[in-house]
Amino acid sequence: MTNRLTSKDILALGFMTFALFVGAGNIIFPPMVGIQSGEHVWIAALGFLLTAVGLPVITVIALA
């Protein structure tokens, strides 16, 4: 059985995916981490990219 997504479903999924990647924590948290990390800013940036970008991408791929 094939289920087709309606325009409303596609719009809702688009907003949910946008919120997953661009939530308030992804806007406020990185500058704070950068300031607190001092000279270890690249390690902090790598950790943030792995957890704030890498994990959601893996989740989207797993659910696709």
Residues 4 and 11 sit within 8 Å (Cβ to Cβ): no
Confidence of residue 9 (pLDDT cuts 50, 70, 90): very high
- The pLDDT value recorded for residue 1 is 61
Q: Quick check: 51 pLDDT over 90? A: no
More confident residue, 64 or 43: 43
Residues 61 and 54 sit within 8 Å (Cβ to Cβ): no
Number of C-beta neighbours around residue 17 at 10 A: 12
Distance CA 20, CA 26 (A): 9
Confidence of residue 21 (pLDDT cuts 50, 70, 90): confident
Average pLDDT of 13-25?
A: 84
Q: What residue segments make up the domains of the chain, in order of their start?
A: 7-63
**CA nearest 20: which of 48, 59, 46?**
59
Confidence of residue 6 (pLDDT cuts 50, 70, 90): very high
Residues 54 and 26 sit within 8 Å (Cβ to Cβ): no
